[in-house]
Structure 1
Amino acid sequence: MDKPFLNTIMTDADADRWIYDRIDYERVRPRKASTHFRLERVERLLSVIGSPQKRIPAVHIAGTKGKGSTAAILDSILTCSGIRSGLFTSPHLHQFSERMRVNGRMPDRARLTSMVADLQQRLQQADPEIVEDGPTYFEVATLLGWMYFDQEQVEVAVLETGLGGRLDCTNICRPLITIITNIGLDHTHILGDTLEKIATEKAGIIKSTVPVLTWTRQPEARDVIIRRASELNCPLFVGGEDIVETSDCGNEPSLHSGRSSESGSSSAFDDSPATVKFAAAAVRSHGQTFSVTTPWGSHKNLALPFSGDHQRRNAALAVAAADFMSQTEARITPESIQQGLASAKWPLRFEVMEHEGCCVILDAAHNPDSIAAFLTTLNQQTSRQQFRILIFASSQDKDAAQMLSQVCSEFDLILLTQFQKNPRAFPTAVLRTLLQTACEERNASNASAHCVPEVVECCTPQAALERAVKATTHRVDSDTTARPTEPVLNATGTPVICGTGSIFLAAELRELVAGTVT
């Protein structure tokens, strides 16, 4: 049960208590049949603040992986185009107000407290049936986000779904275009245990006749999206590696547009195909350049400050969405698209930092697919000859066994820990057992794998980071002045410290590395 509302919110502490006393499904594993997952409930709550979602058009983004990056890139493009863009994302890394931004600016502390006090008063005065059981934590975040966008006269809201899509709080909106990024197995206890079931939940954000962009690579998930778009008569733009065009830079995935056939087959389109295709031009230690062609425009040598092949796909979706919107919004230009990509920021996506002379890579990967993408990027940007250290933690509702199986042969030292600010962390003893099993299975199936990393349990992320830094001192010259002043990924002999397995772990490590522990 939620705790009773405070009668009056006077201070920042009052506001924080009012927010954090709500039921928080980011901290407590939700029950599948929870009555909180009802859109009519969310719509009633939004009516308390004047239903701003009816006035502010949106770009709605769902997916298992990449939706946050895609949202951040598109928001940056819109901002650089001179459009008042609102960005709503979750979860936050360091402070609650990160979830809502207008042209990159989140509400300051006083502004957030004022909005919370306003919302609290409105809910107190509302019909009791509207606020049954009290709003949940995510419902409060959604309401505050829409309040902030309304007050700041936002022209377009870029909305990242929180969980799934069909019953997500963000699904009460009027989208200009819908984006579904790649889909994988995650939150299976809520969304279903197959790609088809999860895709059905994600496809629940599709609205009648609203164009749909997707780069969903798995055929079984892609077909679900195609069928749903066909049922709702939506123009559809589908990417996948079964649709390949030859370009000057080789064979690359392309985005195929049209309306799906009545049979729902992913290989049949009624219209002549247009394509969105990207090609890598260069990979840098802190990003990459690439080119994109969409049905509405062509963009060459775009600079993207994010690493990884998967981030090119996310960026291609954002560029395609911006190109589509440019047909009715003259402020979006090739120049503003280029500027928006170059200036995009989204922490913990293969984020390279320096800490006490060490190269630290932090990534929010938290399921097998995103771990695979992280490892691909790591092996592109570093050498296996380098001494690699992994700091790992995982939530109990994630497939930690599979993730540990993936990483066990890629690192020389694995430090198992528990994040401190969320109660869902696996105990380190459990992780050690899972890791031992993973190594044994890997060695049994592949004699040349030689999966025997050193494993240490650390009670906190801080202890793990300190242990990692100490380990690097045995791998470099004793003269610390020889250490690089900037992080160097692929320098021979340079140790690399990685932190991944959970966004909560990566966020806590980021605070430690940046020296901004909250």
Structure 2
Amino acid sequence: MKNTEYDKALAFLSSYNGRTTRRDHGYHHKIMVEVLQLIQVDPAEFTFIQITGSCGKGSTAQFISSILTHHAMDHGLFTGPHLTDYEERFAINGSLIDREEFSSIVLDIQQKLEDYPLKDDVGHMHVMIMIALTYFQKHGIQLVVFENGVGGKTDPSNIFDPMIAVFTEITMDHSHLLGSTIEDIILDKSCIIKPTTKYAICGMNNVQARNYLLKIEHHCETVFRFLYRDYDFITTSSDTTGNTFYFKGLHYFLKNIQIEMLGTHQVQNASNAIAVVEALSECGYSFEKDVIIQALYQAALPCRMEMLEKNGMTFLFDGAHNTLELKTLKESIDSLGLQVSSVMLSISSNKDVEKMMKSIHFEQASYIITPHPFRERNIRQEEIEKSLISVKDIQYFYYPDMKSALKKAFELNQKNQIVLVTGSLYLVGYVKKFVLNEGKE
């Protein structure tokens, strides 16, 4: 394959970065149905494990996929966003899509969309779903672990009829699309539950979200499984090597489960994944306890509290991108006794800058703020500085490009302390790649 084919595919995808998707009266669902018909893919051919939530979707999806992979169960995995390469979003049995096949699928979709009369209304997520389902169809994959984009009803994927609907932690995020209250947000996300959905795994702490789902439980035939009611966990240790915990569900009692992902919140995500496995076992899938434990230990997700030492500096990469995720990240850092000397971050539009900065506030740390890698999601420097007026005792620097920001991080670094990179998975992925390549992009 010539590099130009991949470049053409990326150029086509980049044309969708600034688009705003129409969501009035389910218009985005109409578009989704039509473009899938255009490429001759029927979502009814697939068995979906569909995951929505504000935090922990990607980790939960990876835990589920690892368990399926270790049991040699054919499945597709769709996640997003990616760190550096689009191919990271699409995997079969734990292996990412080949770049040549990725390019071929994307360019074929581009060609087929040329004659589609509503092509200007096709959004980024529409195209991602087209790529994923085309890829899975080509390889005869039926079972799909699917991480939603924004919300449930708000996401084009709401045309799916999942066998298992999974809800991870819920918080205020994407309020401009989902609503201004937790009730609005869980109402939108709960729409992934369809009349044919067999199980709903409700793995959140948020009381308002739980109460809303408890009400739904009484009015539909879907079997609901709630964290702390139908399954539970106890964390026995948590340090810089990972977590150890016990899990007790309706079918499994698993002892001394170890996961290498840092942060106690990952125990919640892993427990939600086991609850999904319990539901799958009731649907006829067969699992072994020892293999589940092994799969959880070997599950990995880059840039979720990932530590990297390079040229005498220690970086901590984490893609936390909303207030709750940043608060949880800080709690995990504090509990592990890690010393942060500087925080490099970008904040995308439609986020509460003040609350996010307060959530990740470390005394004595310097803050290096840089624009979001996607220009369409930038917040103007003036807006950021205005939002930071009320954040007391914070030393911050604003740099218009990531290279300058990273150079400042190197200058501010102190011996035996950590540079935290967070706020956006795109920023984290860029910086990690830059550091590993020693400044060469």
Q: Same fold (TM over 0.5)?
A: yes
Correspondence 1:467 to 2:420? no
Q: 1:331 to 1:503 in 2, by over 3 A?
A: same
Percent of aligned pairs with the same residue?
25
User: Corresponding residue for 1:427?
Assistant: 380
Among 333, 337, 345, the alignment partner of 1:392 is 345
Among 361, 375, 378, the alignment partner of 2:333 is 378
CA offset digits 1:93-131 (Å, max 9, x no partner): 111121111122222221112112333444457xx46x5
User: Corresponding residue for 2:200?
Assistant: 212
Compute the displacement of 1:227 (Å): 2.4
Any idea what SS the aligned residue of 2:351 has? Answer: coil
Letter in 1 for 2:399: C
Letter in 2 for 1:202: K
Compute the displacement of 1:376 (Å): 0.6
Structure 1 unaligned residues grouped into runs of 5+: 1-9, 240-253, 257-274, 440-451, 477-493
User: Corresponding residue for 2:15?
Assistant: 21
For 1:36 and 1:143, locate their aligned partners in 2 and report how far apart those are by CA, in whole Å.
18
Letter in 1 for 2:252: G
Any idea what SS the aligned residue of 1:231 has? Answer: coil
User: Corresponding residue for 1:160?
Assistant: 147
Structure 2 unaligned residues grouped into runs of 5+: none
For 1:370 and 1:118, locate their aligned partners in 2 and report how far apart those are by CA, in whole Å.
37
**Residues 326, 333 of structure 1: 8 Å contact kept:** no
Correspondence 1:83 to 2:64? no
User: Corresponding residue for 1:484?
Assistant: none
For 1:32 and 1:41, locate their aligned partners in 2 and report how far apart those are by CA, in whole Å.
10
Letter in 2 for 1:217: N
**Residues 154, 177 of structure 2: 8 Å contact kept:** no
Which TM-score applies when normalising by structure 2? 0.92
List aligned pairs for 1:482-493, cutoff 5 A. Answer: none
Letter in 2 for 1:398: K
Compute the displacement of 1:168 (Å): 1.5
CA offset digits 1:368-395 (Å, max 9, x no partner): 1111100110101125xx4521112201
Among 426, 438, 441, the alignment partner of 1:504 is 426
**Residues 207, 232 of structure 1: 8 Å contact kept:** no
Correspondence 1:64 to 2:54? yes
User: Corresponding residue for 2:257?
Assistant: 302
For 2:243 and 2:184, locate their aligned partners in 1 and report how far apart those are by CA, in whole Å.
34
- Mean Cα displacement is larger for which, 168-177 or 294-303? 168-177
For 1:117 and 1:33, locate their aligned partners in 2 and report how far apart those are by CA, in whole Å.
26
Letter in 2 for 1:287: G
CA offset digits 1:174-208 (Å, max 9, x no partner): 32211011111111111100000011000010112
For 1:173 and 1:379, locate their aligned partners in 2 and report how far apart those are by CA, in whole Å.
40
Among 69, 83, 86, the alignment partner of 1:93 is 83
**Residues 77, 341 of structure 1: 8 Å contact kept:** yes
For 1:48 and 1:344, locate their aligned partners in 2 and report how far apart those are by CA, in whole Å.
36
For 2:428 and 2:378, locate their aligned partners in 1 and report how far apart those are by CA, in whole Å.
13
List aligned pairs for 1:57-456, cutoff 5 A. Answer: 57-124=47-114, 128=116, 131=118, 133=120, 135-208=122-195, 209-239=197-227, 254=228, 256=229, 275-383=230-338, 386=339, 388-439=341-392, 452-456=393-397
Compute the displacement of 1:455 (Å): 2.5
Compute the displacement of 1:36 (Å): 7.6
For 1:336 and 1:37, locate their aligned partners in 2 and report how far apart those are by CA, in whole Å.
43
Q: 1:466 to 1:346 in 2, by over 3 A?
A: same
For 1:460 and 1:171, locate their aligned partners in 2 and report how far apart those are by CA, in whole Å.
37
For 1:496 and 1:204, locate their aligned partners in 2 and report how far apart those are by CA, in whole Å.
41
**Residues 41, 134 of structure 2: 8 Å contact kept:** no
Letter in 1 for 2:211: D
Q: 1:33 to 1:420 in 2, by over 3 A?
A: closer
- Mean Cα displacement is larger for which, 166-175 or 372-381? 166-175
User: Corresponding residue for 1:458?
Assistant: 399
For 1:334 and 1:33, locate their aligned partners in 2 and report how far apart those are by CA, in whole Å.
43
Q: 1:132 to 1:454 in 2, by over 3 A?
A: closer
Q: 1:469 to 1:365 in 2, by over 3 A?
A: same
For 1:471 and 1:427, locate their aligned partners in 2 and report how far apart those are by CA, in whole Å.
24
Any idea what SS the aligned residue of 1:133 has? Answer: helix
Compute the displacement of 1:214 (Å): 0.9
Please state which structure has a larger fraction of its residues in helix.
2
Any idea what SS the aligned residue of 1:175 has? Answer: coil
For 1:174 and 1:461, locate their aligned partners in 2 and report how far apart those are by CA, in whole Å.
41
User: Corresponding residue for 1:272?
Assistant: none
For 2:161 and 2:70, locate their aligned partners in 1 and report how far apart those are by CA, in whole Å.
23
RMSD (CA atoms) = 2.4
Letter in 2 for 1:306: M
Compute the displacement of 1:19 (Å): 2.5
For 1:162 and 1:397, locate their aligned partners in 2 and report how far apart those are by CA, in whole Å.
16
Letter in 2 for 1:462: K
